Amino acid sequence: MSGAASDIDVIVVGGGVVGSCVAGFLAEGGRSVMLIDDGRIGGSNANAGSLHVQMQSRFMQLYPQNVPGMQRQLPLYPKAVRFWQAFENKLGADFEIRKNGGLMVAETEDQLAFLRIKAARERELGLEVEMLDRADLDRMAPYLGPAVIGAEICLDEGKLNPLKCNAAIRRWLIGLGVVLREGEAVSALSQESSGFRVETARGATLRAGTLVLATAAGTTPLATQLGVHIPARAEPLHMNITEATAPMIGHLVQHADRMITLKQFSSGQIVIGGGWPADIVGDRDHPTVRLDSLIANATLARHIAPQIAPLRIIRTWAGVNTSVDGKGVLGPVPSVPGLHFAIPGDAGYTLGPFSAQLVANIVLGRDPGEDMTDYTPTRFA
């Protein structure tokens, strides 16, 4: 398709899990929808499959200024995990969702003290969390090495298979008649009397009355063209996956003070992540792995779970996390009628479909069901 598309009600820019779900929910609501995605590796198509709920120590250390925002949004996380479960049923798909709980492990008394303080605050905010000693872990998670002396468990945490999720969501969009323009970057945005003009790098000029930007770390330059400031930052991260082995790790495993996540898919493969840095290189800003991150990530994983030491790493890749101020950027901009943003907070894949439903409800004129004041895009004005 090329040229003008004046019969489209809504253009959604950004084809990750959030933009795709916004497009799908709007199509279900009777809107004609076009979804534009530039096809670059980003967050959703490189996600490692963690369903995060508890506050991640890594983000708290790197962005202490964002902790108040993280705490404000924290009650949405368990709702988002439940939404994933309902979404899986709705699509009749198998996302391989397993909600066996998440362990944040500690190796020192200082780390345990940090977890106790964190857990107390999380309980105040409605999370189901408990502290575990080594005896508890021996019964529950015998794969953890002797260096681990205790942990916090969040019962709402879990994991899924993002490859299966993304494929099922794409089939859903096609079935709903969403127009997909894939591998096509948006080069210019402007406001017109009847809505918005969207120009693409392939020379297409598209128009719609409503525009939703679900562009994650790429939001800032696009929003600026419409006179809106959104300080979204790209954070490239490194991930690894091992060959398959017997079932071993049933939880989502994190650390109180170090960068690590561990989880095992139903295929038997173990995903090793946790936020080790990657690079963004080239004309297309491609997230690219780093050898030092690979070595450090794998070494720490062996330290935490020594039984995985004999396994071979069969693939390593990088993706992009988007950080703003610890909270999502969700909803309309009153000064630019018809413009909406759909950027979840940290751990955006976890929050993705739920955040998309909130934004879609607003676009459709429905009650989102949550107080959206904290997430307004205008807070950066």
pLDDT in tens, 42-74: 777 778 789 999 998 888 888 888 889 889 999
311 and 253 in one domain?
A: yes
Can you give the pLDDT at residue 6? Answer: 54
Residue 35 placed within a domain = yes
* b/e sequence 123-141, b meaning 16+ C-beta within 10 Å: eeeebebeebeeeebeebb
Q: Residue 1: which pLDDT band, with cuts at 50, 70 and 90? A: very low
Strand partners, 188: 199
Contact 262/255 with Cβ under 8 angstroms?
A: no
Cα 97 from chain centre: 15
In a domain, 61, yes or no: no
Q: Are residues 106 and 118 in the same domain?
A: yes
In the chain, the DSSP E strands lie at 8-13, 33-37, 50-51, 102-106, 129-133, 150-154, 158-159, 179-182, 186-192, 195-200, 205-213, 233-242, 252-255, 261-264, 270-273, 279-281, 286-288, 313-323, 329-332, 339-343
Question: C-alpha angle 237/259/243, rounded to 5°?
Answer: 70
Whether residue 148 sits in one domain with residue 219: no
Q: Which domain holds residue 358?
A: 8-45+164-232+325-380
pLDDT of 3 > 50? The answer is no
**pLDDT score of 157:** 95
DSSP label of 66:
G
Domain boundary among 281, 300, 323: 323
- Least confident piece of the model among 10-14, 107-111, 170-174, 344-348: 344-348
Q: How confident is the model at residue 286 (pLDDT cuts 50, 70, 90)?
A: confident
Tell me: do 266 and 298 sit in the same domain. Answer: yes
Indicate whether 88 belongs to any domain.
no
**Residue that the structure tokens 């199509």 belong to:** 27
Distance CA(368)–CA(360), nearest Å, equals: 8
Mean pLDDT of the region 88-99: 96
Measured at the alpha carbon of residue 237, what is the angle toward residues 56 and 126, in degrees to the nearest 5?
A: 20
Residue 251 lies in a domain: yes
With cut-offs at 50, 70 and 90, classify the pLDDT of residue 309. very high
Q: Determine contact, residues 344/351, Cβ cutoff 8 Å.
A: yes
Record the tokens describing residue 164, joined without a space.
């299966």
- 122-152 pLDDT, tens digit per residue, is 999 999 999 999 999 999 999 999 999 999 9
Nearest CA to 149 out of 163, 137, 165 is that of 137
Residue 220: per-residue pLDDT? 96
CA atoms within 13 A on the CB side of 78: 15
Q: What is the CATH number of the domain that holds 358?
A: 3.50.50.60
User: What's the mean per-residue pLDDT of the chain?
Assistant: 93
Instruction: State whether the Cα torsion 27-29-31-35 is positive or negative.
Output: negative
Is 15 contained in some domain?
A: yes
Does the pLDDT of residue 97 top 80, yes or no? yes
Whole-number Å distance between alpha carbons of 228 and 99 = 38
Residues 139 and 237 in one domain: yes
Residue 260 in domain: yes
> What is the Cα–Cα distance from 235 to 319, expressed in whole angstroms?
8
Compute the distance between CA of residue 96 and CA of residue 160 in angstroms, rounded to an integer.
Answer: 5
Percent of the chain with pLDDT over 70: 98
Are residues 35 and 183 part of one domain? yes
Tokens coding 179: 């127009």
Residues 18 and 147 both lie in one domain: no
On whether residue 3 sits in a domain, the answer given is no
Average pLDDT over residues 192-199: 94
Contact (Cβ atoms closer than 8 angstroms) between residue 29 and residue 9: no
Task: Please state the domain count of the chain.
Answer: 2
Which residues on neighbouring strands pair with residue 195, listed in sequence order? 192
Does the residue 53 lie in any domain? no
95: pLDDT strictly greater than 60: yes
Of the two residues 217 and 107, the one the predictor is more confident about is 107
Q: Is residue 344 located within the same domain as residue 200? A: yes
Report whether pLDDT(2) > 50.
no
- Residue 118, classed as helix, strand or coil, is helix
Quick one: pLDDT at residue 29?
98
Give me the pLDDT at residue 223, please: 97
210 and 174 housed in the same domain: yes
The answer to whether residues 143 and 239 belong to one domain is: yes
Residues 133 and 259 occupy one common structural domain: yes
Q: Can you read off the two tokens belonging to residue 191? A: 């406001």
Q: Cα(336)–Cα(146) distance, rounded to whole angstroms? A: 57
Q: What is the CATH number of the domain that holds 259?
A: 3.30.9.10
Does residue 298 share a domain with residue 268?
A: yes
pLDDT score recorded for residue 23: 98
